[in-house]
Structure 1
Amino acid sequence: MSAFPPPPAESSGPPPPPRDLPQGPSQDGPQDGPGAPARRRGRTAPLIACAALLGTVAGTAVGYTVQADRAPTPLPPLSQAELSYPDKPLPKGKEPEPLTAGQDRRVRTDGDLRELLVKRPRGAREPDLALDDGWLSPSAYASKFEHPDHMFTTLVQGQGLRRVASVSWEEGRYREVRIDLVQFREDRERSAAGFVAEQQAYMSGADHAGNGGKPLKGSGNGRYYVYDEPRRKPGYLPMYQVRAIAQRGDVAMDIHVYDSEPISERYISSLAERQLERL
């Protein structure tokens, strides 16, 4: 069997008449009906589109012309009438005096951060596990949280933790106090303020009975927290807790106090205010 179709059979009759070509409209006018020639279509839509485009261009040109002839509308005045610094360098001898170490907060925090910690009260005891040099390693600080591994990664890699200065003491029968000054590098963002905001959100969450805390006087964003209900564990004394956290520049202040008896608001707020003043 051949793979190709057979050639058409040759016809001995006359050739077929030529195929009809399209015809134009009749001179007698349009005709309808099955025998009428087909109407030519397709020109009306392009003509309408061209007319719409020309109308849009013309309208835009007229709009620009009208706007160009109008007087410019003055802008409202700025809230700050003039800049706080001169537009030209001051002559020699009239430059402002540089900030002193007492005025420049960055000068103080770039120095020995341990010197900005409050001193142990007179009569307070040094804890058995007190730091020898006053520095707390990033891993040791992260170990104070419920999820140390995650906290270490967040502090060091995410927020750029620089160093932690710490002091602690014991007073009374069972009271323990720890103050940490957590400093960040802040190369790209305000990590200290972000860290404080995250901790405050955590403290006000469901795990801490939604305690929103109270504003810390003179801090701007600082708050202190007092919990009336202690943590209880079989075989141990009840543990009451208060906390204060605030931010100054690139340093976050974090204060924890624990006791087997309730801790007053006055105690934690006064301690936090004294530490904040040193920053």
Structure 2
Amino acid sequence: MTTEPAEAEAPEPADPAPEAVPDAATPEAPLADSAQPKPRRRGRTALIMAVAVVLGVLGGGGVGYAVQYHRQPTPLPPLSVAQPQYPTTHAAAPVLSPADDDMVRTDGDLTKLVVPAPKGSKAWDQPLGEGGWLTLSDLSENYTKPGVQFGWLLDHNFRRAAVNTWMEGTATYEVDLIQFDHAHEDSDQVFVTTQDSYAKADAGGSQYRTPIPGTDNGAVYAGPNQLHYSDGTPYYRAAVLAVHGDIALAIWVYSPTQVSSKSLMTLAQSQLERL
């Protein structure tokens, strides 16, 4: 018995090959030059407009300047405020004669400006100073604290001092002209102000201070207050304080009896008239 050969099974058709998927990481190939669009040039229009604006401004300015240049100037209205008037010439200050110029007198021999001793008076046995001049040390010795007074005068631009002394009866007189530097004339004011409190206390109070007519702060100090020397002997001390320019006037009177304010006023006025 013959056996029929089995039919060979037809092979299954193979799956179609998958379509090729382009790789995402791989850039696409560029198009050919003929296929790419040409880029458009930018900025040319803006540049043309900017140049036109600049030319317009320059042209307008030039035209405006030309028009203004040929235009007649407009006169300004007159000022309503009156202008200051100045003198055509300046008046010269009058020239003072040496007799009228205080500085000429006070810059000269100061000892000649001290009031002379009255007739009938006596000189001190030991006059102060030398030849009518007081040194800074001699002047300071007249005060209760010579060292302090020496330093004060030195710090306040002391220049020089002239003096005259005499005795009239039982009273002793001392007249000091104390001059300070011209640039520090206020020093004599400070000197008088400082001595004012002491002089009032010596006289017995401010009620015994009599202003000198014609002066800013000059005064006579004479009162009933009695002082005592170191040995207990009583005495009275009167004073005159005044200022003239850069000079301080100080008159000191020591007497066993009360000093007359009227006679001291006469002496003060006589001294100030010489300055």
Q: Sort the TM-score into its range (normalised by shorter chain).
A: 0.5 to 0.7
Cα displacement (A) at 1:194? 1.7
Equivalent-residue separation in structure 1 for 2:226 and 2:106 (angstroms): 35
Question: Which residue of 2 is the match for residue 114 of structure 1?
Answer: 111
| Residue aligning to 1:183 | 179
Q: Which runs of 5+ in 2 are unaligned?
A: 1-84
Runs of 4+ in 1 over 4 A off after TM superposition: 86-89, 233-236
Q: Partner letter of residue 163 of structure 1?
A: R
Letter in structure 2 aligned against 1:106: M
2:188–2:248: 8 Å Cα contact kept in structure 1?
yes
Q: Which runs of 5+ in 1 are unaligned?
A: 1-81
In 1, Cα distance between the equivalents of 2:195 and 2:88? 45
Residue 220 in structure 1 maps to residue 239 in structure 2: no
- The answer as to 2:250 corresponding to 1:254 is yes
Select 1:263's aligned residue among 259, 263, 268. Answer: 259
- Give per-residue Cα distances to partners, 1:75-95, cap 9 Å, x unaligned: xxxxxxx9xxx87764xxx73
1:211 to 181, 206, 215: 206
Q: SS of 1:240's equivalent?
A: strand
Amino acid at match of 1:122: K
Q: What is the one-letter code of the residue matched to 1:242? A: A
* Alignment check: 8 A CA contact 1:219 1:276 kept: no
Q: Amino acid of the residue matched to residue 197 of structure 2?
A: A
Residue in 2 that maps onto 1:150? 148
Find the aligned partners of 2:210 and 2:221 in 1 and give their Cα distance: 7
RMSD: 2.5
Q: Is the 8 A contact 1:166 1:181 kept in 2?
A: yes
| 1:104 counterpart (101, 106, 118) | 101
Q: In 2, distance between residues paired with 1:245 and 1:88?
A: 47
Q: Are 2:165 and 1:165 equivalent residues in the alignment?
A: no
1:5-38 CA-partner distances (Å, limit 9, x unpaired): xxxxxxxxxxxxxxxxxxxxxxxxxxxxxxxxxx
SS in 1 for 2:123: coil
User: Following superposition of structure 1 onto structure 2, how do residues 19-58 of structure 1 map, counting pairs within 5 Å?
Assistant: none
Q: Which residue of 2 aligns with 1:139?
A: 137
Residue 245 (structure 1) aligned to one of 241, 247, 251: 241
1:238, CA displacement in angstroms? Answer: 2.0
- Judged with a 3 Å threshold, the aligned counterparts in structure 2 of structure 1 residues 150 and 125 are, in CA distance, closer, same or farther, namely same
TM-aligned CA deviation for residue 123 of structure 1: 1.5
Q: Tell me which of 244, 264, 274 is aligned to 2:270.
A: 274
1:126 equivalent in alignment to 2:110: no
Residue 159 of structure 2 aligns with an amino acid whose one-letter code is R
Contact 1:178–1:256 (CA under 8 A) maintained in structure 2:
yes
Q: Indicate if the aligned counterparts of 2:163 and 2:174 stay in contact, CA closer than 8 A.
A: yes
Percent of residue pairs identical: 32
- C-alpha contact 2:185 2:246 (8 A) present in aligned 1: no
Match of 2:69 in 1: none
Query: Which residue number corresponds to residue 57 of structure 2?
Result: none
Change (3 A) 1:102 1:232: same
Helix, strand or coil: the match of 2:98?
Answer: coil
Q: Structure 1 CA distance, aligned partners of 2:151 and 2:137?
A: 9
Aligned length: 190
User: What are the Cα deviations for residues 149-183 of structure 1, in whole angstroms up to 9, with x where unaligned?
Assistant: 011001012x10000100000121x2100000000
3-state SS, counterpart of residue 167 of structure 1: strand
Contact 1:222 1:245 in 2 (8 A): yes
Q: Which letter maps to 1:245? A: L
Assess, with a 3 A threshold, how the Cα gap between structure 1 residues 202 and 240 changes in structure 2: closer, same or farther.
closer
TM-superposed CA distance for 1:204, in Å, is 3.8
CA distance in 2: counterparts of 1:245 and 1:234, whole angstroms: 26
Partners of 2:180 and 2:87 in 1: CA distance? 34
Q: SS of 2:183's equivalent? A: coil
Q: What letter matches 2:163 in structure 1? A: S
TM-score normalized by the length of structure 2: 0.63
The whole-number CA distance in structure 2 between the counterparts of 1:124 and 1:208 is 24
Q: Quick one: structure 1 residues 96 and 191, their matched pair in 2 at CA, closer, same or farther if it must change by over 3 Å? A: same
